[in-house]
Amino acid sequence: MSRFRSLWQASVNATKKALTWELEEWVPPVEKCIFKFHSKEDLKTWHLYSDSEYGGLSLASLEIKDGGNGSDFTGVFSGNLSTEMSKGSKWNINRSGFCGIRSKKFDGFIDLDGYDSIALRLKGDGRCYISTIYTENWVNSPGQAEDNSWQAFVFAPKGNWYTAKVPLARYLPTWKGNVIDAEMEMNPGRVVGMSLAVNSQGGGFIGAKSGAGDFRLEIDWIKALRMP
């Protein structure tokens, strides 16, 4: 009988270990790096856009900055927001004064299932920026080429490095910059891209800088987090 119990106990222990290994393999790490901005090669993942594509006069650039000791490189998204339109523009847009950077489409999807927040390490200028997550289109027009967009404001304090942590639940579904007035749920397992943008209207945080003029945002990395 004692031998039988020993075999049974050994079997139980082996099962527990197997379940523990499977659980550890299933649970994602606490954080997942999605983008880093440490080299010119990293910046090739992104492209710029602004109201200048529609007759506006805003300007933007994305460059690499050397932190000073030869190893701390970060991305710098900067430029000038203008609410003016070029004379004779054929475009008729409701508002100008915006610039942004958008990632190129992934080869497939980024799976953020198991994570609940997006973290961005930034050094800003006191403006509010707009963080956008693009997911496979199943909300607006399933089967169409345009992606679904989910947006949240990110405040970038002036002068010091700051890690902004934005819960995925705070990202709202939008259509052409306007919030969709309906209850919808993001599918974090089908992320196809991200963007960061700034506009002259500001918004999101009381006291944040707004209006036309220069902007500057240093970006170290963007990660997905699993908060405790």
Whole-model pTM? 0.81
Q: Where are the domains of the chain?
A: 29-225
pLDDT at 67: 67
pLDDT at 93: 67
Q: What is the mean pLDDT of each run of 10 residues along the chain (228 residues)?
A: 49 47 61 95 95 91 80 90 82 79 87 95 95 80 69 93 95 86 86 95 83 96 92
In order of 26, 118, 126, 225, the CA distances from 228 in angstroms are 17, 14, 29, 9
CB atoms closer than 10 angstroms to residue 6: 10
pLDDT at 17: 47
CB atoms closer than 10 angstroms to residue 55: 17
pLDDT at 138: 64
Q: Which CATH class is domain 29-225?
A: mainly beta
Supply angle C-alpha 76, 64, 98, rounded to 5. Answer: 30
